[in-house]
Structure formats: C-alpha cells, structure tokens
Structure 1
Amino acid sequence: MKLNKILILWILALFMGLSSCSSDDSEIDPTDDVTGQPDPDPEPQPDNPEPIDLSAYDNGSRVMMQAFYWDVEPRFEWWTNLTDKVGGWADAGINRLWLPVATKGQSGGYSMGYDVSDYYDFGNYNQHGTTETRFGSREELEELISTAHQNDVEVIADIVINHNSGGGLEYNPYRGYETYTLFDEEHGNASGMFNRNYEYFYPNSVSQYDPGSLFYAESNLDHHREYVQDWLWKKDNSVAKYYKNVMGFDGWRFDYVLGFEPWVVKAWLDEVGGFSVAELWDGRASVLRDYVNETGSGAFDFATFYKLEEGLDRFEDLNTLDQDMLWKTHPEKAVTFTANHDTEKDSNEDNFIKSSNKMKAYAYILTHPGYPTIFYSDYENTDFQDEIKNLIEIHNSIATGDTEILYIDEDEYVMKRAGTGTNPGLILYISISNSTKRRSVSSNWNNVTLMDYSGNSTYNPTSDENGAVTIEAPSNGYSIWSITE
C-alpha cells in the first residue's frame, strides 16, 4: 500500500512538472547556459566579437533634459548647479535643457514658478520676500544660458500663461467681490511691465468666455484681450520676445494648455517661432494629434507614457505597446518621457513608472521614434546614470529607420529599427518574464554576429543567410541588438 502511494505521488509530481514547462520554445530550458550547464542545442559562439564604433553612426538625433524636479534643493543655487553640469550633459548627447519657470512666483524663494506673479522678475526685484528666485539670481540664470549656448545646447523656457498669482486685492465688479487681480509695481509686479487688473482676467467687460481652468479661476488670463496678446507675444518687449531676444531662451514648454485655447500657442509660435512642446495631459493619442495639427507645436506624448506605465506596471501586459501613441503618426512632434516633476510627486500610482521598471521604459523611448526627455533625478541617480548615458549613445547613433514590431505578447516585446543606408539599425527586446527568454526573429543582417549593446546579455548569436537569428532578453530586463565588426 505504501509503495502504491509513493508511485502515485511520483506520477503526480512528474505530471505537474511537465505541465508547468512553457510551451513557448523561446524560453531558456533550465538545463542550458543560464545555469551554467551545457545547452542541449548550443549555437556556435564567436570569440570576442568587436562592437561597432557607435560614434561613427551619428544619426543627428539628440535628447532633452528636464533640468529640475519638484522643490529642488539647495534653494538659490539651482542655476549654478546646472551651469556646472551643462558640459557633461552636452558630451552625453543632450541638446536642450528644459528649465523650471524662471520668474518670480507668489511663494517667493520657495516658489517653483508655477504661481507666476511677475513675468519679468528673473531674480532681480525684491518682492514676495526675496530678490532671488528659488533658483538663484538673474545673473546666474544668464550665465547658465550663456554656458549652454557655448556647448551648443538650447534652453527651453517653461511658460505659464493660463493663471497668475500673487497680485493685490481689488473689487471686481464682474464677480461682485474682491479678487487678487491687481498687478502693479506695489502688488506683485515690481518690474512694472505687463501691469494688469480685473479687466484682463475672466470675466470682464468684453468677454464672458471662460475655459474652465482648474487653477486660479479668478485670475485666469483672458487671451482674447488685445492688451494681453500684446504683452504676451506681440509687442517688442512682450514676454515672448523679451525671453527670446533679451534673456536668450530658444524655445517653449507651455504649461497646462488645457486652460486656454490652441490658437494662443499657434499665435505665439507664428510671432516668435522656436522649439515648442505643450503639456496636454491626456493619454489619448487622438487628442494629442488634434492639438499638434491645430497648433503646430510638439506635445508631450502622454499616450506613450501611459502605455508604458500600463504595460510595465499596472497591468503587466506588454500588449499595451501595440496601441496608438503620438510618436507612431507624428514622430517629429512627439516628446516622449518616462517621468517628470509632476508624475514623480504625484501620489497616484497610475501616474508614475516604478523605479524597478524605469530602465525598460527608457530603453523603449530611447530606441523608438520621437524626441526623448530625460528626467534630472533619474540621470543624476548613480544607479541609473551610466545606463542612461549608454542608452542616449544608442539613441543618437543606431536608433534610426522604419519601426516594426517583430513580436509581442503579455511579457515579451521585440521591435526592429531598420536602419538607413550604412546605418545598421537595432532590435530592442524587452521582457517582463521572470526567466531569461530567447526568440527567433527576422533581422536585416545576413550572416552577421550580433551583440547586445545594452550590456545586459553576453550572448552572441549569428544570423543566417536570410537574416533569421535568435536573440535573448534577460529576466525582467531588456537587450538591444545590432551588428559587430
């Protein structure tokens, strides 16, 4: 009887073991080289293949740095901190810096600038309890911009033209009570430029329109007023022209564009030009596309951000990466990102990508079309920096050519960039499986030994005469394949 029980238990164990093995032949068998045991069907491994020189394949692409995080420290030293870093960032392949709002806000030395008060106080007027902004003095900002230009790096201004804050109280007949809408030399606008009162906020004597801003509704600028248009972008010393011609800014990041109409951004760009990206916080690619088409501005690709967050974190299903994203139709207007100052401070877990998945997300945006943005806190993280630098080098060299998804399922994503001319392109392989994976795919490379330029795999497969090759992704990681010498 005891023997029969043992036999039954042995049969059950054998059955369960067989049923737990993946039917997917791309998964490494537990007796292969992953565990140091002989591979049952080993591929010949060439001796120390030589990588290609990525610097010889400059594809002209670069990346942008978001050069701040929420509540940066130390206060009053941020511009100097960035000045010291610009040269290294430029060497790494960064060609634009997105700076925080550079002018005085209601919170004075504690303000991140989004409570904008005086559009012309760059840290040179004593108001709201301080002369310097949170980030430093005007002279230090000018030194930063000059240093960036010396390194062929453009500087992008964060523009808040929806709401104002920090004005004086005045009786507002259109609301029937006092509002903080008086901005002059004594009330939050020490520069004396672009003074304003209740007539230039919604509602007023000529306009009842209100886009329904979620922020500072009582001091929401009315862009239909000629006076507001003159001071924001039309006059010779308008905000736009002063920032560009006097301060030396090269482009614009428009904050919270849901708070005003698209024609405002188009009119601004028609007047002064420059690189532009809009913060339209909407995960629908169709909405982003409509905005880009209407304004001519680029936009942060929130569609891609949320598909990455869903695929890597929320649903753990990489099939989300086959859905609609802005870069797929407007790659030249899609500014891709994995984190920003808002997502990293947001307590909503669906609004940020976990640290453990950050590098897979960066591998995605830095190999796909679009204009990637690097988040300061990620780059300055010593655990991430070398990896991000390497991904930037890959992006600026061999991440080029048509894009094709070679394979996708719940835990694997394989994408090919076809390359152009003599540029070989690449293949990205992301896996969220807990085991090392291998998959046979069709490449553009015939009879060539490949290597993983991310450094995450030491496997060196060789393609056959038709370009077929088996590539590998580490468990819960990524690899980026291209040719060797």
Structure 2
Amino acid sequence: MSKRTLFQFFHWYSAGDGSLWKELGEKASYLAGIGITDAWLPPAYKGASGPDSVGYDTYDLFDLGEFEQKGSRATKYGDRAALEAGCKALLEHGIRPIHDVVMNHKMGADEKESVIVRRVDPLDRTNIEEESISALAHTRFTFPGRDGKYSRFVWDKQCFSGVDLIEKPHETGVFRLVNEYGEGQWNDEVDDELGNFDYLMGADVEFRNRAVYEELKYWGRWFSEQVPVAGFRLDAAKHIPAWFFKDWVGHMRDTIGADLFVVAEYWHPDITTLSNYLERVDKQLLLFDVALHHRFHDASKAGADFDMRTIFDGSLVSSIPDHAVTLVDNHDTQPLQSLEATVEPWFKPLAYALILLREQGTPCVFYPDLYGAAYSDVTEDGREQMVEMPVIGCLARLLEARQRFANGSQIDKLDSPHVIGFLRRGTETEPGCVVVMSNGDAGEISMDLGPNLSKSVFVDFLGHLSGEVTTDDQGLAIFPTNAGSVSVWVQKDFV
C-alpha cells in the first residue's frame, strides 16, 4: 500500500481563470506516478469576492460554482461540472480528494440588520464594554442567486457572535453581538491568544446556535453526496470551539466513512497547546506541525549557523507523530502572505527529505515546490513586488524515494551540528535507504547496515553525488553528502 502523501493542489496566487479544477485531471496521472496519494483542494464554494476569491471569505457553502452570485457563476477555480470531473479524475488515478472547509466566518452578506453590539478591546477580547449600542451590521445571508436550492436556511444576526464593521454609527473594530447565545461572552474551548481568539474576521459564526450547528452538519452530508470526499482540511481551528469539531468530525465519520482523513489548521507552535486541543477533540484528527515549519524557516535563514541537532525540537512530529501533518510551506507562509515565513529554496530539499523519508508524520507537499510559481502583489507599503518560487528540482525524486525506499525501522544520526542523517533498514521484501544532509560544508556519516548488507553497492538516488559507496564485510560504510545538500543512498541493484 502506498504511504500516505498529501499534495496541496493550489497556492494563494493560483491562476484565477477557472482552470484549476481542469488541472486536476491533467496532472492526476503524473502525481499518482510519483507517489501522491491525497490532494488537498482549495475551498470549492463561492466566496464573497466571487471570481477573485481564494475561498477563505466564505459566502455560500452550497454554491459550488453553479449559481450567478458575487459577480460570477464559476469560482476562481472553475464551475461545478469541472469540480466534479476533476475529483473523479483524481479517484480514477488512486488519489483521494481532501477538501478545505472554512466554517469560522461568513462574508459578503446580502442585507444589513439592526443589531445590538458591545465594543471589544481588540487586544484583549475578554474586555467587553458593558454599554450596548444600536447599529446596522452585515449579518443577513439570503443567497438570492441560489433561491433556496439545496438549503433554505437564512443566516441572520442570531447566527453570529461578532462582527468587525458596523454602520450608524460607522465604526470598525471588534464588536460582540448581543443575542440569546453566550450571555454576551465569546465561545470557550478556543485559543487564548488576545484573551479569547473566538473572533477572527467577518461575521463570526455562533456555533452555540443549534440551528447553525445542524445546518453545518447537514452541509457536510450534502457536500459528500455532490462530489467525492475522502477527507477535510479544517480552517481556523484555533478560533472554533473544540467541542464543535469533536461533534462535527464524529458525525462526518458516521455518515461519510469511518476512514475519513481530517487535518485541522490550529496554527500554534506550542506542543502543550496542540496536545490539549487533540484531547478535547478525542484525537479524531491530525494537526499541522507549525513548530517544525518554523524550524525549517529558521534553519534556511541561518545557514551553517543553525544547529541541525535541534531541527525537531518542540515539533509535533517528535511528540505526537501519529497526529502530525508535516509541511515545508503552504499558502499562508508563502511570500507576501499573512503568515509569511518562507523556507529558502536551498534548504527545501533537506526539509522535504526530513518529512518524506522518515517514519514519523504524514507529509504534505506544496504546489509551487513541485511546479513553481510566479506572481506579484502589493506590499504593505504600497509597492508592487514580483515573486518567483522555483521548482525544487529533486522533489519528484524524493517523492518517488518515499514510496520505494522509505521502508523499515529507523536509526537516527542527529549528533552533529551540521551533518545529520538517518537509516531506514528496509524489510524482508522492501529496500531501505541512507539519508545524509549538511547545512554547511560537505560531510559524511558512518552507518552500520548490518552483515545482511555486506559488500553492497549504494548510489545517490537523487544524483547529487555520482560515485558509489560499498559496505565492508560487516555492512559498515561511510556515506557522504555535498555542502548544503542532501543525498539518498540506495542499493544500486534497486535503481
């Protein structure tokens, strides 16, 4: 069975010409051939900014590019028919579709409503003014373009806990809606950043409203009947009460399938915080390894000044590996985005070797690292900036190595500040590999492969080094690597 390997099939600046869903079919065969087993797709439904929406400004969960709403019928990625065809093509090539879901907030309301709100200190969300004021807020969603097809649910001020814009008086900030839910307080079981991180943006969904709770469960069931669903990526988990996802994921597993793959974006580096969250959701899902991503970023910036012995310090994969999705970059960390902490291209081969070829964690590969990306955006100071993200030349080979050679038990050699590596011993029927990398000068590691591999000839599967390494009578050998590089040594007979 292929080792689970996710591919994030988009980035923030993916083409806005409606071609992405078509691209699923065009690239499915190649991706399957290099070992991709799951494709993480962007939000498939209509966002508030219509054809320009990346998908995180949720407007209508039931519009999969089917209705004339927000200035277009199709989404940025294509229309509903193309989505269905693309997901079908993935499945035909053995790739499971993993869908991005944004439930925390809604944007682009169809109507304003009279509301009662209390001002909130944006730097301490637990500090809510006692005085209430009357205002207008964008909180009523009727979806006139869909006209009740699939769901007649109307979202109104009772469905939300907060907003960031009011009118009459016109103010921006954070405002707690006064309604029958929560007695004027935010949800609990959310992250404690800024005191309470329930509120993020737009019209913040009130999960304590039972009608909302049931509508979101209904949507999950409905969605799985429209397109193939093998799993979900849950956006903004730190802003959504853990009890809701505990219930929602359990319900999806009961109704869609017990083997549903679910990973939540709880963007926090602290292992205690993530461990507590996993307990609250009954460990029904996986989390992205934020700390490991930041270690990669720091290592790529520091070069030879970074101590590679510490590369896994504080990481989720080193503490709770069965619940860790490891990544190098994603759409939020890429240049010019909100969580920008890009891993420098020179270090990405090392980082990918560390997530693809080890036993621990479920790795996720980012679209621009396999296919490249070029785009521009306006910086905070108003300048137009061009960005080019290069193809990581050995990434396809590393993906192939994961499926062919990342087998058997693992022995780590993480005791040098600059040259580290590990051995995958292989099994009776599957070959292993020796991985060696350096963030400084060229180096080498001595490995004991055991007498079963005595007099065995090894070559660098990545082609970074052209020579051969032969083990001695006892299975010992010294495996080299180039400066600032990685080599994956495999038995010559298997290449």
1:197 to 148, 151, 156: 156
SS at match of 1:339: coil
Residue 255 (1) aligns with residue 235 (2): yes
The equivalent of 1:374 in structure 2 is: 365
The equivalent of 1:443 in structure 2 is: 449
More helix by share: 1
Q: Where does 1:124-135 land on structure 2 (aligned, <5 Å)?
A: 124-135=66-77
* Superposed displacement of residue 472, structure 1: 0.2
2:292 to 300, 304, 318: 304
Structure 1 unpaired stretches of 5+: 1-58
Deviates more, 1:327-336 or 1:343-352: 343-352
What is the aligned length?
Answer: 422
The equivalent of 1:169 in structure 2 is: 112
Deviations along 1:217-238, one digit per CA (max 9) or x if unpaired, are 56111112211110111xxxx1
Change in CA separation of 1:184 and 1:398 when aligned onto 2, cut-off 3 Å: same
Instruction: Note if contact 1:117-1:188 (Cα within 8 Å) is conserved in structure 2.
Output: no
Change in CA separation of 1:69 and 1:322 when aligned onto 2, cut-off 3 Å: closer
Cα-Cα RMSD: 2.4
The equivalent of 1:284 in structure 2 is: 270
The equivalent of 1:116 in structure 2 is: 58
The equivalent of 1:185 in structure 2 is: 143
* Superposed displacement of residue 259, structure 1: 0.6
What is the one-letter code of the residue matched to 2:270?
Answer: R
* Superposed displacement of residue 98, structure 1: 0.8
Deviations along 1:290-326, one digit per CA (max 9) or x if unpaired, are 3334321011111221222222324533122242322
Change in CA separation of 1:155 and 1:218 when aligned onto 2, cut-off 3 Å: closer
Change in CA separation of 1:322 and 1:108 when aligned onto 2, cut-off 3 Å: closer
Residue 328 (1) aligns with residue 312 (2): no
TM-score using structure 1 length: 0.81
Residues of 2 paired with 1:421 and 1:329: CA distance?
29
Deviations along 1:45-88, one digit per CA (max 9) or x if unpaired, are xxxxxxxxxxxxxx631311101111321422221122211122
Residues of 2 paired with 1:337 and 1:425: CA distance?
23
Instruction: Note if contact 1:66-1:97 (Cα within 8 Å) is conserved in structure 2.
Output: yes
Residues of 2 paired with 1:405 and 1:300: CA distance?
23
Instruction: Note if contact 2:10-2:367 (Cα within 8 Å) is conserved in structure 1.
Output: yes
SS at match of 1:86: helix
Residues of 2 paired with 1:302 and 1:110: CA distance?
28
Residue 339 (1) aligns with residue 321 (2): no
Residues of 2 paired with 1:375 and 1:337: CA distance?
8
Residues of 2 paired with 1:319 and 1:128: CA distance?
51
Residue 219 (1) aligns with residue 203 (2): yes
Change in CA separation of 1:415 and 1:422 when aligned onto 2, cut-off 3 Å: same
Residue 358 (1) aligns with residue 342 (2): no
Residues of 2 paired with 1:417 and 1:194: CA distance?
54
Structure 2 unpaired stretches of 5+: 119-133, 162-176, 188-195, 254-259, 374-389
Instruction: Note if contact 1:436-1:472 (Cα within 8 Å) is conserved in structure 2.
Output: yes
Residue 319 (1) aligns with residue 309 (2): yes
- The structure showing larger relative contact order (alpha-carbon pairs under 8 Å, at least 6 residues apart) is 1
Residues of 1 paired with 2:147 and 2:423: CA distance?
53
Deviations along 1:347-378, one digit per CA (max 9) or x if unpaired, are 68971101222222112211122211111111
What is the one-letter code of the residue matched to 1:370?
Answer: G
Instruction: Note if contact 1:184-1:195 (Cα within 8 Å) is conserved in structure 2.
Output: yes
The equivalent of 1:23 in structure 2 is: none
What is the one-letter code of the residue matched to 2:33?
Answer: D
SS at match of 2:75: coil
Residues of 2 paired with 1:220 and 1:348: CA distance?
19
Residues of 1 paired with 2:344 and 2:153: CA distance?
43
Residue 390 (1) aligns with residue 349 (2): no
Deviations along 1:173-197, one digit per CA (max 9) or x if unpaired, are 2453211110113499875543211
Q: Identity of paired residues, percent?
A: 25
More strand by share: 2
Considering only CA atoms, is the larger Rg found in Structure 1 or Structure 2? 1
Residues of 2 paired with 1:155 and 1:193: CA distance?
28
Instruction: Note if contact 2:307-2:418 (Cα within 8 Å) is conserved in structure 1.
Output: yes
What is the one-letter code of the residue matched to 1:478?
Answer: V
Residue 209 (1) aligns with residue 177 (2): no
Change in CA separation of 1:390 and 1:277 when aligned onto 2, cut-off 3 Å: same
1:268 to 244, 248, 265: 248
Instruction: Note if contact 1:62-1:396 (Cα within 8 Å) is conserved in structure 2.
Output: no
Instruction: Note if contact 2:420-2:445 (Cα within 8 Å) is conserved in structure 1.
Output: no
Instruction: Note if contact 2:345-2:392 (Cα within 8 Å) is conserved in structure 1.
Output: no
What is the one-letter code of the residue matched to 2:394?
Answer: E
